[in-house]
Structure 1
């Protein structure tokens, strides 16, 4: 297999609806470790097959598949056959952007979700997403890109979206570790340890670690790393140098950032920064 075939382009367009991230990729050797996004993931597959796990549910996405992942859902991805790999595109719209597109004047206090099924075989919509991604990558016309993104997200919401009334009393599976999560989000750039986090949650260290993994699907360290990488992407997209970003988000140095960023996203921080507009 020719490693030069592997091509991952991840970028953020700051001019589109307060900033939206996109991806176009041909993957072979690269495998995505367990991670999550603060935004939705809406992906379309055009070639090959990807084996994935979303919230511990396994599946295979093939050409013509659409996949949706909700914010915070831990997931992985790798080629079913490395010689074949897979091609796909992905959009990362914020929850607020999707709610704005789905807006109904009399809807009241609503939330938007796409059900429990992550993968749908939908060749027509997959082709629409793939074509839209190519336009969003290459088109210099902001209005055309805005209309393209609105059109494809509107079609996706119309096909698979479920508007429900928010229930303030509904149970949050992360509620028991919420104070620990708040501590991590507030101090992600510091050299924090498990005792400090568990103390913030008013639990013993080992009980907190066990409950945290059961609640989030990740270890405390991997979750912290994900927060740091998400913040790093934001700073890189704003033009902050990688050396500065590394220290600002809590990595030891630039090589520490580079290693984790490449493992997570398949490209270096420098390439990501160059691709952002």
Structure 2
């Protein structure tokens, strides 16, 4: 278990259990668990549920649950514990007379799109080179989808709208702070929108997430610095990448060449 201090102290857990069962207990926060491998048979909401790879267990604060994997079976899962104040912010994305706090019912959430985004967010929270903005975007998109599709009752979030000024300000901010570890909160505050709404309107208007746009800006900056004659290791730092390997990975994804090959071709 670890805490992501740059995301407000959100707690995350990665575990593999065998020959172990939780006693009945509850959390102060929401509990969201994504099964990666194995099988679990937890008990909650008056029944025993069979949890398989790709399945999500989503529980409300103070909702009792117990159990673990069956005998001679292991269970590998990733969990996060969003605080109620974070989930209240999510609810602002939904119009109408909605409660201030989402509530989840039913047994098991099976949603490949939500699971993929949560898995990506969780895995990105482990390596040191992952940017705060990238993780925030995956988390925001996952939670909006989760609440919209699986809270009681399901409800579509409000349309993204145009919000041209907010998107323009966001793009300018990312261009001016290309090398900085920009947070979604800071970007949204500058744009005058909520963090979760900014994710949606930015993707709608630009065709990519704020983090993808930030990466594009950084790669363009790297190309300019390479053409100016700076060594690749210095280019990585100046353009905002964690190290040369981080630069190379993203550079090739966008340009189609490694920085070294690009530098060779651009100077011949």
- TM-score relative to the length of structure 2: 0.51
CA distance in 1, matches of 2:22, 2:56: 18
CA distance in 1, matches of 2:94, 2:15: 38
Q: Say which of 158, 161, 164 aligns to 2:148.
A: 158
Larger radius of gyration: 2
Residue aligning to 1:13: 4
Shift in CA distance, 105/62, structure 1 to aligned 2, threshold 3 Å: closer
Per-residue CA distance 1:166-207 (angstroms, 9 max, x = gap) = xxxxxxxxxxxxxxxxxxxxxxxxxxxxxxxxxxxxxxxxxx
CA distance in 2, matches of 1:62, 1:157: 21
Q: Say which of 90, 109, 112 aligns to 2:79.
A: 90
Superposition deviation, residue 32 in structure 1: 1.4
Residue aligning to 2:21: 31
CA distance in 2, matches of 1:124, 1:43: 15
Superposition deviation, residue 131 in structure 1: 2.2
1:128 aligns with 2:117: yes
Per-residue CA distance 1:35-63 (angstroms, 9 max, x = gap) = 11001011111211101111432211111
- TM-score relative to the length of structure 1: 0.50
Superposition deviation, residue 163 in structure 1: 6.3
Residue aligning to 2:102: 113
Superposition deviation, residue 15 in structure 1: 1.9
- Structure 2, unaligned stretches of length 5 or more? 155-268
Hey, which of these two has a bigger chunk of strand by percent? 1
- How many aligned positions are there? 153
Residue aligning to 2:52: 62
CA distance in 2, matches of 1:146, 1:156: 15
Superposed counterparts of 1:1-277, under 5 Å: 10-16=1-7, 18-82=8-72, 84-104=73-93, 107=96, 110-140=99-129, 141-162=131-152
The answer as to whether partners of 2:15 and 2:77 remain within 8 angstroms in 1 is: yes
Greater relative contact order (Cα < 8 A, sep 6+): 1
Aligned-CA RMSD value: 2.3
Superposition deviation, residue 159 in structure 1: 1.9
Shift in CA distance, 118/99, structure 1 to aligned 2, threshold 3 Å: farther
Shift in CA distance, 107/45, structure 1 to aligned 2, threshold 3 Å: same
Per-residue CA distance 1:86-115 (angstroms, 9 max, x = gap) = 111111101221120220486467233344
